[in-house]
Amino acid sequence: MTNAQDQTRQWGKVAEAYVHSSFHAAGPDLIRLVAEAGLSGTERVLDLGCGAGHTSLACAAHAAAVVAVDVTPQMVAAATALALNRGVGNVEFRVADVQALPFEDQSFDVVTSRVSAHHYADAPKAVAEAFRVLRPGGRLLVSDSVSPEEPALDTFLNCVELLRDSSHVRNYSWSEWQWMLESAGFESDSVELFPVRLDGDEWVTRSQTAPSKVAILRELFGEANRATRHAFSVSDEPWGYSVPILLMKGTRRA
């Protein structure tokens, strides 16, 4: 089964949950992302891995037009319904692969990707595609969960994320993101880090994680060493942890 098929199977089941997710709808990074996009009302924006459409709709309020893509048809349907419900008419949702965008070169002013890049099968390819479709001087804004630079903490975070959600590919570190952005031709910058607290029960319920895997996750968190518990602010009852969300910017050189 291909990664795109894995994504469709996993996300098709949970699309409605992401419509109502408070973090996805209004996380602290979303306001900063829109501000960093520098929208004046004339721009054409592309939103990658749009999910339920929250980032797309936030940008649509300040842009001329937004095109949003996701590989999962059910997510596109949920986002389209949300836009209709809110009366937003300058956003279009499409099914498309972020690693092979169906758009002409230099056809957008801003590209966004929020809390979806850790699901991309080939993140460097997606970044290169974003560079291709941006006009000179255009901006790529990526907000995503990132791994610490320490190998042990990186391993822990990616392990629990994969157990919770089989469509997870990788949380990259900032140094890896910097390499991806600059290799594609962007000038890179890390804007702000947002530690986001995740309630364990809500976290696994939203992704419909199997009970057997939830039990393993509870065990991994419970047995985590002191350094890991401190790095991710792990708590037992109520169980949960904090994940670092980093807002990053890539500017296409003119």
Spatial separation of the C-alpha atoms in residues 158 and 253, rounded to whole Å: 33
Q: Global pTM? A: 0.90
**DSSP H helical ranges for 20-108:** 22-26, 28-37, 54-60, 73-86
Question: Domains along the chain?
Answer: 3-147+167-197+243-252 (3.40.50.150)
User: What is the band of 97 on the pLDDT scale with cuts at 50, 70, 90?
Assistant: very high
Q: Which residues of 230-249 are buried (b: 16+ CB within 10 A; e: fewer)?
A: ebbebeeeebbbebbbbbbb
Instruction: DSSP letter for 115, please.
Output: S
Q: Over range 59-68, report the average pLDDT.
A: 98
Give me the half-sphere count of Cα atoms (radius 13 Å) on the Cβ side of residue 151. 0
- Tell me what the mean pLDDT of segment 241-252 comes to: 96
Confirm if 207 and 166 have CB atoms less than 8 A apart: no
CB 105 within 8 A of CB 92: no
pLDDT grade for 1, boundaries at 50, 70 and 90: very low
Please state the φ and ψ torsions of residue 105, each to the nearest 5 degrees: -60, 145
Per residue in 22-32, pLDDT (tens digit) is 555 668 899 99
- How far apart are alpha carbons 131 and 250 in whole angstroms? 9
CA gap 40, 43 in Å, rounded: 7
Cα-Cα-Cα-Cα torsion 206, 91, 35, 111, nearest 10 degrees, comes to 90
